[in-house]
Amino acid sequence: MNPAGTHYQNESITFATMHGKELLARQSFADVLGASVIAPPELDTDVFGTFTGEVPRAAGPRGTALAKARRGMELGNTRLGLASEGTFSTGFGTIVENTEVLVFVDDILQLELVEGSIELSPLPAARPIAHLDDALNFATAVGFPEQWIILQTTHNGTTTSYKNIGDPDSLRMIGEKVFTNEYESVIISPDYRAHHCPSRAASIRALCERMARRLATECPSCSTPGFGHVDVEYGVPCENCGIATNMIAADIHECGKCAYHQRVMRSVKRASPQWCNDCNP
């Protein structure tokens, strides 16, 4: 895509991060929009919440990302901002789900746009360990040292997190320290921070690419940038009984400024009975 003539050509956009996320957006925003992405100075995003729980997240993912974006814009002295917020959860045994939200804020046009993804993480869930060998085996399984890890100990109700474990010497040194003390529990987990988690970085990069393409798309009605996908509509009829099913029938595209929207039908016209609550309750 030729960035010449896009609304954000030659603009600076602040990505609210202290973990190098601006690097994940720079290429696509330059190629698609002709915009530059910077990181703000002296921003501590840990105040909005940490994966290890020392600081609880006070709002939901979208609200947290918007708060980070606006703080980044303030420190970066720009009226355009980006921020992301990730959540890792276990819903089915050991399967880990990564939900990622990316927001874009334009205070000039009064726009707040959101892109999101839900993916199965290739990383295992946190688990208790009893020996240094357990830590070494876990680290090998998650792709250490490219993927960093975290150790957390609990003693007398106090939890201590050992972060920035990104090389074998650090792992062995901290592991030996941990297991020479009598802790009630030792938990090992992947480090989910973007600069230490390649799989999460890839998810954020993909969202940045999607956001850049969206910002290059103008509303057919008012020409505001950012026209794009916001929702889906369910209800493809069952090919057996004709009842509406839970299959997606259409995608909804909408302008972030005016009320204009489009309903784009998907190609599937009839659904298999396996998706029907009547035929397959």
Beta strands in the chain (DSSP E): 12-15, 36-38, 80-92, 95-106, 111-120, 127-128, 149-155, 158-165, 185-190, 228-234, 248-254, 261-265
**If you ran DSSP here, which 8-state letter would residue 262 be given?**
E
HSE-CB at 100 with a 13 A cutoff on CA atoms is 24
pLDDT tens figures, 32-53: 999 999 999 999 999 999 999 9
Mean of pLDDT values over 199-226: 98
Distance CA 240, CA 109 (A): 49
Distance CA 228, CA 274 (A): 31
Task: Check: CB of residue 113 under 8 Å from CB of residue 214.
Answer: yes
Task: Check: CB of residue 244 under 8 Å from CB of residue 250.
Answer: no
Nearest by Cα to 38 from 47, 57, 25: 25
Q: pLDDT band for position 157 (50/70/90)?
A: confident
The residues, ordered by sequence, that sit 6+ positions from 233 with a Cβ below 8 Å of its Cβ are: 248, 249, 250, 251, 252, 263
CB atoms within 10 A of CB 37: 25
Distance CA 112, CA 103 (A): 7
Q: Is the pLDDT of residue 127 over 90?
A: yes
pLDDT tens figures, 173-186: 999 999 988 888 99
For residue 237, what pLDDT is reported?
Answer: 96
Query: What are the structure tokens assigned to 98, written together?
Result: 């990564």
CATH code given to domain 12-123+194-216? 3.90.950
pLDDT tens figures, 49-82: 999 999 999 999 999 999 999 999 999 999 999 9
Q: pLDDT band for position 1 (50/70/90)?
A: low
Query: What are the structure tokens assigned to 133, written together?
Result: 């060998």
Nearest by Cα to 116 from 70, 85, 81, 88: 85
